[in-house]
Structure 1
Amino acid sequence: MRATSGVRTQIVRLTIGSFSVAALLGVVALLSGGAFGRTEGRVLLTTLLVGIASVAVLCYLATAGTPAQAVGVAGGVVIVVPVVTALVQIWSDLGPDASDLVGRTFGVGTVVAATLAQASLLLALGGRARPGVRALLGATLAMAAVLAVALSVIIAAQDDPPSVVLRGLGVVAILDVLGTVVVSALSRFGPHPGAASVAVPADLVARVDAHRGTRSREDVVREAIEGWLGGR
């Protein structure tokens, strides 16, 4: 758990640092004066890209130290595809054939990366929820997977699907969004199975906050209790 926390902390620092640099370049591009040209536009698009990728990485990090950590790791690998292909499209002048291939790769990579980000957040929130919420979580993830596969096929094939297929995907997308909202709300604000309220003195809370880094208070307290029980 400590090793995972250390890696998570370094990734958070790298993410914040990367976006800070990109944001600084974007501000400089806007305030440098002169005509707003192609280079300035590319810098702003790069800043937007880094910002979106940073949000996705933070979503993947939500699974760190949980049984669903493999999903976050997969997301961290997949996000490289849309980022690299987007940078190529922003900064390179590609021919029609190459641009088409890179564009389709970007589209499929974006769909998969976004789906993994959604799954990471849902698994981090609903992994310890009540059985009913976990069942809804599984159904929502299934909808998200179906939608991701269908969209990826459509993007890769570049063929307009029949109307009935589009209507079906619309229904799946609506159910996916509905499930995401309900699972998130019930997992965050609903009662947790076996949850117990324990009063912690304010001085101990302050000590926990001083040493927890990017970890939650719950993770730190759980680690301390498990370590104490394991040493008895």
Structure 2
Amino acid sequence: MDERGVGLRIRRVFLWAMVVSFCVAAGAGILVLLGVSFGETGGKVLLSTVTVGLFSLAMLCCGATFARAGRSLGVAGVVVSMLTLGWSLVLIWREWSWDFEPFQVLFSGITLTIALSFANLVVASTAHRDQLIRLLLAACLGLTAVAVLLTLLLIWDSGWEGESFPRLYGVVLILAVLCGVLAPLLSSLRKRAGRTPGPGHAVAEPPMAEGAAVEREPVSRPGEPLDPALVAALEREAARRGVSVVQLVHQQWPRERE
């Protein structure tokens, strides 16, 4: 089985887990509004269901890179998400205590999960990469790593006192999100620009030898069907240029339209 098929099956599992979890949570919420009481155990079941749905969404985002070159980033995101999900379920079902350290571990895992999900979505959305897109992608990943480090400092109460820290934190978050939004948008725009010829762009015809006849032989006689091989070749060339077959024919033989 190829890697693309494995990645597709894994994403399908995450998708169905998310759908089932959200449907169960929605149904339970409706029952609560109608006056049905689930008690403490029912509340924990409902909270566990919502938690599984949210982390399934995060793992689905990380699975977007399974069929690409950045699959190691996706695998890391899925592993961190599963570990954080397990720790979340442990905290939901254990006896309540006022010790804050387990929640610091939980918040750290959630921070890493969100960061990796965001990074995988950006990587998966930048299919067309030139020098500018690579620069934006590297800046996004680097700024996201810095944002994670600053967030962990906030969670673990170490070295974030002062007026400069919140300003630096905000600037890093804004720049990370900006690079993460610009990279996929510019990648899509540049990919389309590379496929579509500009207005007035002349379609180059194959060179002809000196003395060769300029006349074109008819591809078929009136009333006869076109050669299937010719039709397939026209469809491939039209798909490569990003136009329809009719537009390709009009571009290649503009005089014959009159």
Alignment of 1:113-128 (within 5 A): 113-128=113-128
In structure 1, distance between residues paired with 2:161 and 2:132: 35
Structure 2 letter corresponding to 1:157: D
Alignment of 1:30-179 (within 5 A): 30=29, 31=31, 34-35=36-37, 37-97=39-99, 100-157=100-157, 161-179=161-179
1:228 aligned residue:
none
SS at 2:72's partner residue?
A: helix
In structure 1, distance between residues paired with 2:67 and 2:194: 20
In structure 2, distance between residues paired with 1:165 and 1:120: 27
In 2 relative to 1, CA 172–139 (structure 1 residues): closer, same or farther, beyond 3 Å? same
8 Å CA contact 1:25–1:43 kept in 2: the answer is no
SS at 1:93's partner residue?
A: coil
In structure 2, distance between residues paired with 1:176 and 1:134: 14
Provide the aligned C-alpha RMSD in A.
Answer: 2.8
8 Å CA contact 2:128–2:190 kept in 1: the answer is no
1:227 aligned residue:
none
Which stretch of structure 1 is more off in the superposition, 139-148 or 32-41? 32-41
Q: Structure 1 length as normaliser, TM-score?
A: 0.74
In structure 1, distance between residues paired with 2:39 and 2:86: 23
Task: Tell me the alpha carbon deviations over residues 95-145 of structure 1, each in whole angstroms, 9 at most, x when there is no partner.
Answer: 222xx2221111111111111111111112225322112111111111111
8 Å CA contact 2:73–2:116 kept in 1: the answer is yes
SS at 2:49's partner residue?
A: helix
8 Å CA contact 2:18–2:54 kept in 1: the answer is no
Which stretch of structure 1 is more off in the superposition, 4-13 or 156-165? 156-165
Task: Tell me the alpha carbon deviations over residues 59-82 of structure 1, each in whole angstroms, 9 at most, x when there is no partner.
Answer: 111111211110000111111232
1:12 correspondence with 2:11? yes
SS at 2:37's partner residue?
A: coil
SS at 2:191's partner residue?
A: coil
Task: Tell me the alpha carbon deviations over residues 187-218 of structure 1, each in whole angstroms, 9 at most, x when there is no partner.
Answer: 23x12299547xx97xx9xxxxxxxxxxxxxx
Report which structure shows greater RCO (CA 8 Å, sep ≥6).
1
Bigger Rg, which one: 2
Structure 2 letter corresponding to 1:179: C
Gaps of 5+ in 1: 205-232
In structure 2, distance between residues paired with 1:9 and 1:65: 8
Structure 2 letter corresponding to 1:63: T
8 Å CA contact 1:143–1:173 kept in 2: the answer is yes
Q: Tell me the CA shift for residue 160 of structure 1.
A: 5.3
Q: Structure 2 length as normaliser, TM-score?
A: 0.67
Which stretch of structure 1 is more off in the superposition, 55-64 or 21-30? 21-30
Gaps of 5+ in 2: 197-230, 236-258
Which stretch of structure 1 is more off in the superposition, 40-49 or 171-180? 40-49
In structure 1, distance between residues paired with 2:78 and 2:48: 19
In structure 2, distance between residues paired with 1:153 and 1:109: 13
8 Å CA contact 1:62–1:124 kept in 2: the answer is yes
Identity %: 31
In 2 relative to 1, CA 44–166 (structure 1 residues): closer, same or farther, beyond 3 Å? same
2:209 aligned residue:
none
User: Relative to total residues, which structure has the larger helix share, 1 or 2?
Assistant: 1
Q: Tell me the CA shift for residue 159 of structure 1.
A: 6.8
